Amino acid sequence: MEEKLISEGKYRYIEVGEGAPIIILHGLMGGLSNFHGVTQHFPPKGYKVLIPELPIYDMPVLKTNVKQFAKFLEKFIEFKGLKDVILLGNSLGGHIGLLHTKMYPEMVKALVITGSSGLYESAMGDGYPRRGDYDFIKKKAEDVFYDPAVATKEIVDEVFETVNDRNKVIRTLAIAKSAIRHNMAKDLPKMKTPTCIIWGENDGVTPPDVAELFHELLPDSNLFWVKKCGHAPMMEHPEEFNEILDAWLEKRGF
């Protein structure tokens, strides 16, 4: 990845471009490089793209929950002196974006969610995590995508390393349980922030009816589908993802 990771204060993040800030929130097993397409596409169009590294494995276990990550995000926004941010989150990142928007609505100009938890997700599946079983982990990683080839050896190795690290497993399970417990169905109808929902038609982690429900519950949302696509549209179909988001931002005047 060409983008350089910046370490400043207690934050590690990528920052590309100048202009309206888009903050990208990665998922539980998602590396910062998953959004390479977005960091390439939007800076030339007048956006500053920031991807903070979420401290998923660094928080005390009791603080490893969605709410603490939403607070972490707010501190990062303050630290960078940003306002009127556009939040873009995939999977757990979408959930953090939703909760942050609920807690600090005045900070967020727009929200983009893709494969987001917050209503339902079956990410842990059955028998997770099976440590030491590489083929099982490989199959789990492949199941996230419509095209299994997107789960490169690098991605599978990263997940395998995570589930074989006791510290990481404990925190992974803590945040996953927190995400399932923290259902936002009652909050969404009160959230007036313009929201763009981009979803894979073949998402097996957060199935399509979850996207429909987000669309139904959020007062000011637009829903877009990506065909032949699983849980991570920005990885499987980066160009289409960027086109959808680009057109939505333009239409909304962001």
Q: What is the pLDDT of residue 179?
A: 85
Spatial distance between the Cα atoms of 200 and 204, rounded to a whole number of angstroms: 9
- Residue in 164, 159, 172, 169 with CA at minimum distance from that of residue 56: 172
Mean pLDDT by 10 residues, the chain (254 residues): 80 94 87 81 96 89 90 97 96 95 97 92 49 83 90 88 86 86 93 98 93 97 97 94 97 95
Q: What crossing angle do the helices spanning 134-143 and 153-163 adopt, rounded to 10°?
A: 120
Q: What is the DSSP string of 173-196?
A: HHHHHHHHH---TTTGGG--S-EE
Placement of tokens 């929902």 in the chain: 197
Query: What's the angle, vertex CA 101, arms to CA 100 and CA 107, rounded to 5?
Result: 100
Put simply, whether the predicted model's pTM sits higher than 0.85 gets the answer: yes
Q: What is the pLDDT of residues 42-63, one digit of tens each?
A: 999 999 999 999 988 888 888 8
Measure CA 164 to chain center: 23
Q: What is the pLDDT of residues 128-145, one digit of tens each?
A: 555 668 888 898 889 899
Cβ–Cβ < 8 Å for 118, 98: yes
Q: What is the pLDDT of residue 192?
A: 97
Spatial distance between the Cα atoms of 105 and 108, rounded to a whole number of angstroms: 6
The tokens for 92 are 């757990």
Q: What is the pLDDT of residue 124?
A: 44
Q: What is the pLDDT of residue 249?
A: 97
